[in-house]
Amino acid sequence: MRARTEGVDPHTLAGAYALDAVDDVAERRRFERHLAACGECEQEIATLTETVALLGAAVATDPPTGLRARVLAEIEQVRQLPPSVVAVAHARRAWRVAWRPWLAAVGAAAALAVTAVLGAATIEARHELDQARHAEQRITAVLTAGDARTVTAPAAGRDGRGTVVVSRSQGAMVFWAAGLGEPPQGRVYQLWRIAPGRITSAGLLASSGSGGTVPVLAATGAEVGRVGVTVEPAGGSRQPTTTPLLVVEVPAA
């Protein structure tokens, strides 16, 4: 998808530029001249460029985290062979003959257990891969939409800022933060959609590894006028439990 950028505010082109979606040569050069003198856009491009790399890595086909541990845990559930305590060679041979069918059954059961775990893990990995690809496509669609509008707001009492890109035609918005740093141990950043008399969670914000967050895709709504970020216990909360670090106005249609 390519951005149509004629005559637009250069500040709104950061997302499209980071995704190499500004196909008009003159518009690209105009934005690059603007970028050379705009620290805000420079920081935004740096964050988005890192995010694009993270989104690309999300669709890699590496085995899911914990696969080895799950396989080993499953194997440990297979009953171990009993020790041979028969004193004479004849008894040992008789034991082997008597238990050979059982040993074969145990081996088959172990193989089936490992196969089942690997099969389930493969299905899980494929599902996660499909979800990552879909999210990447949806985020790209919002950032490069012709009606995409961007608003950035600083964090209260600290470095950092939050950015919202809204596309009404896509029915979605993308949020990311930069410069917030890592949340305290055992805590997470959580995003909230704020409407008159109603606050709903828009998801947890994953760290990008450099003090920023990976973009979160959320649905727009006619009544949603702001989004906010709070620090919450690990796993998130049903409602905010702390004062927002930052609040960003959602651009109107």
Query: What's the pLDDT tens digit per position in 42-62?
Result: 777 776 666 666 555 544 445
Residues 235 and 152 in one domain: yes
Residues 118 and 160 in one domain: no
Residues 133 and 151 in one domain: no
pLDDT band at 201 (very low <50, low <70, confident <90, very high): very high
Alpha-carbon span 251 to 148, nearest angstrom: 9
Asked if pLDDT for residue 4 goes beyond 50, the answer is no
| Spatial CA neighbour of 50 closest among 246, 213, 248 | 213
Q: How many Cα atoms occupy the beta-carbon half-sphere of 52 within 13 Å?
A: 16
Tokens encoding 85: 């305590």
> Is 10 among the domain residues?
no
The per-residue pLDDT for range 17-38, each reduced to its tens digit, is: 776 767 778 888 888 888 888 8
pLDDT band at 10 (very low <50, low <70, confident <90, very high): confident
Mean pLDDT of 179-208: 92
pLDDT for res 68: 59
> Is 19 among the domain residues?
no
Mean pLDDT of 207-214: 80
Asked if pLDDT for residue 88 goes beyond 70, the answer is no
pLDDT for res 87: 45
CA dist list (Å): 120 to 104, 128, 168, 182, 236? 24, 12, 38, 33, 27
Residues 134 and 151 in one domain: no
